[in-house]
Amino acid sequence: MSIEALNWALTEAAIPSPTPAGMPSAPALTMVLIGLANHASRTGEDAYPSVATLSAYARMSERQVQRCLAALLELGLIALGDQRIVAAKIQRADRRPISYQLMIQRGDEPSPRPESRGDKRVTHGATSRRRRGDSRVTRTVLEPKDETAAGGCVARSAPRGRPKRNNAAAATPTDNDLAPLAERLRSAGLTASFGKLDDRSRSEVADLVGRCGIDAMVASARAQHQPQSPARFVQAWLPTWRELPDRSSSKPKCSGCDEFGWLPDDEQGRAVRCGCRR
């Protein structure tokens, strides 16, 4: 299929309307011509769909398609193509369709070109000589030097290389800082990974360890643990950890639970929340 051939069949093909007497109608000729263009190259060549295919395209009988092809040949819109191409692709002669060529008209005006082309320099038979290698370049930017400031101090240029880190910025907690929490979680049978924590979440977990304590965080994680679908990453426990009370403000409300409101584990080893904290 070629866009150029289809565009020619739709907009440029000179199909008369009405057609001469005894010739199929202009819509019928147009549909058959569009079917040929659907199989032609961009130059309009090598269009050899079968009559049955064109009949399916145009929604008409095969006999009417043959009349349309004869009319298009008579109008000069198509011509017989190179049948050797069809013979090379289809071995049986009784099944070879006829190859047609769409008579796409090319532009008569040539593309503009300059009168003189090529290199017009005269070298008189000698090759121009040019110096090779590095050429001297005048330095236009002065390197920073030590200059004495107005107060007598020497103003030194800033050293090159990587900029110094701001020591005042808060350092991001490392895996070693969260190792006690990770070890307690593994001891409780919780194997969620800390590897997907970004710097912000890592700092938040470290802050929760300081405010709420490792025991409360492990107990909260065990309360959420589902053996059939365990948490893969620590981020699953963050929403519950954020709701834990601070150790400084957490006081026992009854004699049965600890300062965080947790009762002893049940027979299946699960953490139990005290009713006084609900």
Q: Which of 85, 81, 51 is nearest to 68 (CA)?
A: 51
Residue 222 or 40, more confident? 40
Q: Residue 59 maps to which CATH number?
A: 1.10.10
Tell which of 70, 102, 134 closes a domain: 102
**So what's the pLDDT on residue 169?**
41
The tokens describing 78, both together, are: 């198509």
**So what's the pLDDT on residue 56?**
94
Per residue in 168-207, pLDDT tens? 344 566 667 788 888 888 888 888 888 888 888 888 888 8
Helical packing angle, 51-58 and 26-37, nearest 10°: 120
Determine contact, residues 197/205, Cβ cutoff 8 Å. Answer: yes
In a domain, 93, yes or no: yes
Q: Look at the chain and report how many structural domains it folds into.
A: 2
pLDDT band of 208, cuts 50, 70, 90: confident
Residue 252 or 276, more confident? 276
Beta bridge partners of 79: 101
C-alpha span between 252 and 278 (Å, rounded): 13
Per residue in 233-246, pLDDT tens? 888 888 888 888 87
Give Cα separations from 42 to 3, 75, 103, 129 (angstroms): 7, 21, 11, 49
Residues 221, 224, 228, 229, Cα dihedral to 10°: -80
Tell which of 102, 124, 148 closes a domain: 102
Neighbours of 273 (CB within 10 A): 15
In a domain, 166, yes or no: no
The radius of gyration of the chain's CA atoms, rounded to the nearest angstrom, is 44
The three-state DSSP-derived secondary structure of 186-215 is HHCCCCCECCCCCHHHHHHHHHHHHHHCHH
In a domain, 143, yes or no: no
The tokens describing 251, both together, are: 């006081």
Per residue in 45-100, pLDDT tens? 989 999 999 999 999 999 999 999 999 999 999 999 988 988 888 888 888 899 99
In a domain, 168, yes or no: no
Strand intervals (E) in the chain: 78-80, 100-102, 147-148, 154-155, 262-263, 272-273
The tokens describing 167, both together, are: 């020591």
Question: 170-173 long-range CB contacts below 8 Å, 24 or more apart?
Answer: 170/203, 172/199, 172/202, 172/203, 173/202, 173/203, 173/205, 173/206
C-alpha span between 132 and 135 (Å, rounded): 8
| 95 and 184 fall within a common domain | no
| 98 and 186 fall within a common domain | no
In a domain, 155, yes or no: no
**So what's the pLDDT on residue 167?**
45
**So what's the pLDDT on residue 89?**
87
Q: Does the structure show a pLDDT above 70 at 106?
A: no
In a domain, 267, yes or no: yes
Length of the chain measured in residues = 278
pTM of the entire predicted model? 0.40
Tell which of 102, 123, 144 closes a domain: 102
In a domain, 170, yes or no: no
| 186 and 273 fall within a common domain | yes
Q: Does the structure show a pLDDT above 90 at 136?
A: no
| 184 and 97 fall within a common domain | no
Which amino acid type is present at position 20?
Answer: P
Per residue in 215-262, pLDDT tens? 888 888 888 888 888 888 888 888 888 888 877 655 556 767 776 677
Range of the domain at 68: 3-102
In a domain, 164, yes or no: no
